[in-house]
Amino acid sequence: MAKKDNTTAIIEIQGAQFEVVEGMKLTVDRIIDSKRGDKLETTNVVMISNGSEVTLGKPFVDGAKVQYTVVDNKKGKKLEAFKYHAKSRYRRQWGHRDHQSVIEITKISG
């Protein structure tokens, strides 16, 4: 995580909140219709802090936005589940992998 200045923000992406600084890479749930290299922005900024000055939103900070770039789209770690009933020959096994996007925060303004 490369920190350029003391500006920190809490943003909301896909229903989850993340604390970010410029230059930070972050793994989030898959951003629909995004490709590697896409430059996107969000205005869902819950809080911005410039060292000593803190601005809170109700629910979001007016005029604030965070720009980010999609670095990669990938699949997450495989999760496996298994059901078993003793003495009845009952076994069920299944797995799941979440789709994820890796993003890099390029600019925090507001």
Task: Give the position of tokens 């350029």.
Answer: 4
Q: Encoding tokens for residue 8?
A: 């920190």
Task: Give the position of tokens 């390029």.
Answer: 106
The reply to whether 1 falls in a domain is no
Q: What is the pLDDT of residues 32-49, one digit of tens each?
A: 999 999 999 999 999 999
Cα torsion 8, 51, 54, 105 to 10°: value is -10
Q: What is the pLDDT of residue 79?
A: 96
User: Which domain does 61 fall in, by range?
Assistant: 7-109
Tally of domains within the chain: 1
**Predicted confidence band of residue 51 (pLDDT cuts 50, 70, 90):** confident
Strands (E), the chain: 7-13, 16-21, 25-29, 39-42, 45-50, 53-56, 65-75, 79-85, 90-96, 99-109
Pairing of strands 39-42, 79-85: unpaired
- How many Å is the Cα radius of gyration of the chain? 19
Task: Give the position of tokens 């979440």.
Answer: 98
Cα separation of 68 and 17, whole Å? 15
The reply to whether 23 falls in a domain is yes
The reply to whether 34 falls in a domain is yes
Burial annotation 71-87 (CB, 10 A radius, 16+ → b, else e): beeeeeeeeeeeeeeee
Q: What is the pLDDT of residues 56-70, one digit of tens each?
A: 989 999 999 999 999
Q: What is the pLDDT of residue 101?
A: 96
Q: What is the pLDDT of residue 73?
A: 96
The reply to whether 2 falls in a domain is no
The reply to whether 60 falls in a domain is yes
**Confidence check: pLDDT of 1 > 80:** no
**Predicted confidence band of residue 5 (pLDDT cuts 50, 70, 90):** low
pTM of the model: 0.80
The reply to whether 76 falls in a domain is yes
**Confidence check: pLDDT of 76 > 60:** yes
